[in-house]
Structure 1
Amino acid sequence: MTVISRLPGALEEEWDWQLSGACRAADSQLFFHPAGERGQAHDDRDRAAKAVCARCPVREHCLRHALATHERYGVWGGCTEEERRGILRRRRNRNRTRSRSRTR
């Protein structure tokens, strides 16, 4: 579940980037796997979703949004759930390393 407290406010400027998303012309099911989807079908769907993201003019904004809100499901900004978790984990580790080096 998305962490609601991390979502930007109701200001239109915070959300209007979504109007330019390449995904608006695609079936939303392409970006969210059905329960139990595994193997080749899962990989093929992710690849197709990422192909849409690859041509998207707001891809970077979308990914920043998904990372900031800890979006748990779907392909956002060309990254799967697992890929986003990896990005966030690397950021946390990098921040911990920086914090430790400052306290020494």
Structure 2
Amino acid sequence: MRGSLGHDREWHLQARCRGLPSAVFFTDDHHRGRRRVDHENNAKRICASCPVLSRCLEYALDAQEPYGIWGGMAPRERAALVHVNRGGRSSA
């Protein structure tokens, strides 16, 4: 169930990113173009083998994380996912 923001963070103890510098998963404003893509792809490679990938993505979507790679997705990818999911829901 969603909505457990901040309450169930035990999944983070099993994350592949645990102990790595946060800079691996967050780009600064100076990263543009190929440099940004390479930086993001490096983070995504770490995420790809993470045992809690889906839980991390769920957290990022719940928290509406605007920055960084979470659950193997960049902010623009998460925004697109939310947009697609909202587009398929009924308002009733």
Q: TM-score, normalised on structure 2?
A: 0.89
The aligned residue for residue 3 of structure 1 is none
The aligned residue for residue 46 of structure 2 is 52
Give the Cα separation in 2 of the matches to 1:8 and 1:34: 25
The aligned residue for residue 22 of structure 2 is 28
Q: Decide whether the 8 Å contact of 1:7 with 1:69 is kept in 2.
A: no
Give the Cα separation in 1 of the matches to 2:46 and 2:12: 14
Matching of residue 8 in structure 1 with residue 5 in structure 2: yes
The aligned residue for residue 86 of structure 1 is 80
Displacement, 1:55? 0.8
- Which structure shows the higher helix fraction? 1
Corresponding letter in the other structure for 2:61: L
How many residues of Structure 1 are paired with residues of Structure 2 in the alignment? 90
SS in 2 for 1:56: coil
Identity of aligned residues (%): 36
Q: Which structure has the bigger radius of gyration?
A: 1
Q: Decide whether the 8 Å contact of 2:5 with 2:62 is kept in 1.
A: no
Q: TM-score, normalised on structure 1?
A: 0.79
Q: CA offsets per residue over residues 52-85 of structure 1, 9 Å max, x none? A: 0001010000001101111110000000000000
Give ranges in structure 1 of 5+ residues lacking alignment: 1-5
Give ranges in structure 2 of 5+ residues lacking alignment: none
Displacement, 1:26? 2.3
Comparing 20-29 and 47-56, the one that deviates more: 20-29
